[in-house]
Amino acid sequence: MTSKQIVWSGIYYNTIEYLHLQSDVAHHIQGYITGLVNDQPLHVDYKITANLNWETTSVIIKAHDHIEKELQFTRENNKWHDKQGTVHEIFDACIDIDISLTPFTNTLAVNRLSLMIGQSREITVLYFDLPAMDVKPVKQRYTRLADRLYRYESLYSGFTAELEVDNDGLVLDYPEIWSRQWPK
């Protein structure tokens, strides 16, 4: 079993995130984000479980502003189910997730895709837009530019960034959005 702790500071939004990643027969991720988003205080707790191939199997997101809101999805047999057990077929093409307020969810795609340098892949992710708590499928593209450098592209919004990652695929630098504070 391996365990890692990461701290990122938000640059675009004034946030700090503490993340704990534990890997054994699966990857168990727990993140805590606190700060100001759109000039409003916000605290987000999230839990993600991914199998050893980095395919997301469950996600729970709790956002606390003036009220607590929760989103919960589980993936079984290539189908996403919400907390009430309802199947959302619109998400069938989604293997990865993307939570808008954390750089961690890039790790899921980076590690699952295992791209060679120069290789690119388009994927559809289950996108969680926080603090709006909006969930939708979104197309993205990852391109491996160098050993630890990836280009991320949102085909939905047109946003592009070059992400520097460590040997475990965890973001070190996400220019103008997040910066890893610990470990450096």
Token readout for 74 is 């589980």
pLDDT for residue 66: 82
User: Looking at the DSSP assignment, which residues form a beta bridge with residue 140?
Assistant: 123, 154
Rounded CA separation 178/9 (Å): 6
Rounded CA separation 110/108 (Å): 6
Q: In the block, which residue shows the tokens 């895709």?
A: 113
Burial string for 166-184 (b: 16+ CB within 10 Å, else e) reads eeebbbbbbeebbbbeeee
Rounded CA separation 50/59 (Å): 9
pLDDT for residue 9: 98
Q: Where are the domains of the chain?
A: 2-182
pLDDT for residue 36: 96
Q: How far is CA 107 from the centre of its chain?
A: 7
- The overall average pLDDT reported for the chain is 98
pLDDT by residue (tens digit) across 88-125? 999 999 999 999 999 999 999 999 999 999 999 999 99
pLDDT for residue 184: 86
Cβ atoms 75, 56 nearer than 8 A: yes
Instruction: Give the chain's residues under pLDDT 50.
Output: none
Measure Cα distances from 143 to 35, 95, 121, 161 in Å.
31, 17, 7, 11
Percent of the chain with pLDDT over 90: 97
The pTM of this model reads: 0.97
pLDDT for residue 178: 98
The SS3 assignment for 108 reads: helix
